[in-house]
Amino acid sequence: MIITSLEYSFYLLLVTLLGVGLVVLTRTIMFTQKARTPRDVSFSGLDIQGAVQRLSQAIQFKTVSTQDQHGFNADEFRRQHAFIQESFPRVHQHLKREVINEFSLLYTWQGNDEKLKPVMFTSHLDVVPVEPGTEGDWEYPPFSGHITDTHVYGRGTMDVQCGVMGLLEAVEWLLEHGYKPARTIYLAFGHDEEVDGIEGAMKIAEVLERRGVELDYLLDEGLVIAHNLLSQKQEPVALVAIAEKGYLSLELSVESEGGHSSVPQGVTSIGILSGAIHKLESNPMAGHLSGIMRSTFETMAPRLPIPYRSAIANLWLFRKLFQNRLSAEPATNAAMRTTTATTIFDSGIKENLIPTQAKAVVNFRVHPHDTIEKVIAHVRKTVEDPRIKIRKLDGYIEPSPVSDTNCKYYKLLKVSIRQVFNDVSVSPSLMVGATDARHYTHLTKNIYRFLPIRSDASDLDRVHGTNERITIDNYADMIRFYIQMMRNTAVVLPRTDSHSTKVNLFGAGDTTA
């Protein structure tokens, strides 16, 4: 039998396609493992209704941070401090309370074992303002803390009075039930996270550094439990940020001939600068489907619908297709690259007068794959116009270090999440915004950013927006999560008989998954 070259090519193509198909199928099957279901844990006697009432009251304090410090209302923060003291008597009986730089709070729950490094849980007391003119768009007044049958409404219910109150509720419950810390626990609540945390978290960090404190891990606010992240059929995933982007703002300015608008002298300063900005926004820095981003989707893959699972399992074949899919969605696009956003444009004073100057501020959230100098070099190369002056504004910060997902505390964090939220998977991810955690990077290499709130796409606009709210059930689970994370890593039951709880290598007494 003689096989022609055409037939040979056909058979070779068929074998190749079958081989590729077999590889794709095999790798997809390898990504179908299911995580074990953690055993049940108990939270007996948790007063959810009382906790909801206390959260509602906390929302009513207008602890607003603004860039203009003249709008800072010191009395509201002091009233909030007094409310916290009154609401959590056991916390204030057993923990050391310090007011840092007048308005931030630091609590110390002293541990029994000095050989164990302390841990810290952080959140922040301040909230963003309500945009003037939008107050009437709220279903309930933004600082009313209104409670319905299902939700608590108000500024701070998601970002992030819920974190402050949830942590305090957790410690109060642990104290009530006789738990004692094997290792020291710090609670740190800055008062200016929404305006960079320079006077709050940074000052707390300086106090701890002077005392020689080294933390085993730090848990701050961060990413959430995302529902329908990629698909309506996707099961929820708890996204734990193991790093956060850097921050850079550049001022671009240009000077040109002015004069009367009836006799223009060529391209105006506004036109020149607009052209430069258009170049920047049309040519973003390269995206990356590697490192953190790849880990995010590979750990998520076993619980994704088959098309996504197959694409992630076979990035050697589908990388470009999958990356294009992620780039099409603002949230996942931001996680893959350094983002570019023009936030301020200033030029002109009169409609018939050509301005001689134009200025703009462009904000970059710097991906861990990039650096501030690399971003500046990209801007210069992209703009490529000697008429444009580029100035780096104060407040810049490089991307954070990347925390280890093989660390025992990350593993205990995963266990704690799934013990409370049994239906979720857990994946490492990247924080695209900034948190107070960046001020503590010199105290520990193990920093995790996770806020135990369930969220889908419809909730994104509520954070810093209109009708911010949290479900009562979710707030209850948030408190349970903080209790369980502390039980798993830091506190033990007191000795009551010969069968007292044994402290394991995590300094905890209850970690079995």
Residue 282's contacts (CB-CB under 8 Å, 6 or more residues apart) are none
The rounded distance, in Å, linking the Cα atoms of 255 and 357 is 5
Catalytic (active site) residue 281: no
Catalytic residue among 159, 192, 193, 459: 193
Give me the numbers of helices (H) and strands (E) for the chain, helices first please: 14, 18
Catalytic residue among 76, 126, 169, 510: 126
Q: Phi first, then psi: what are they for 452, rounded to 5°?
A: -75, 65
The rounded distance, in Å, linking the Cα atoms of 402 and 48 is 36
Instruction: Give long-range contacts, CB 8 A cutoff, 24+ apart: 269-272.
Output: 269/347, 269/354, 269/355, 269/356, 269/357, 269/358, 270/347, 270/348, 270/355, 270/358, 272/358, 272/385, 272/387, 272/388
Catalytic (active site) residue 137: no
Q: Phi first, then psi: what are they for 419, rounded to 5°?
A: -70, -25
Residue 125, token pair as written in the block: 């007391």
Q: Is 45 exposed, middle or buried (0-12, 13-18, 19+ CB in 10 A)?
A: exposed
Q: Token match 């509720």: residue?
A: 169
The rounded distance, in Å, linking the Cα atoms of 245 and 431 is 6
Residue 423, token pair as written in the block: 């239906």
Bridge pairing between strands 246-255 and 469-471: unpaired
Longest dimension (CA), the chain: 95
Alpha carbons within 13 A on the beta-carbon side of 481: 29
The rounded distance, in Å, linking the Cα atoms of 416 and 38 is 9
Under DSSP, the state recorded for 241 is: E
The rounded distance, in Å, linking the Cα atoms of 84 and 93 is 13
What torsion do the CA atoms of 67, 449, 458, 236 make, to the nearest 10 degrees? 180
3-state SS, residue 238: strand
Catalytic residues: 126, 193
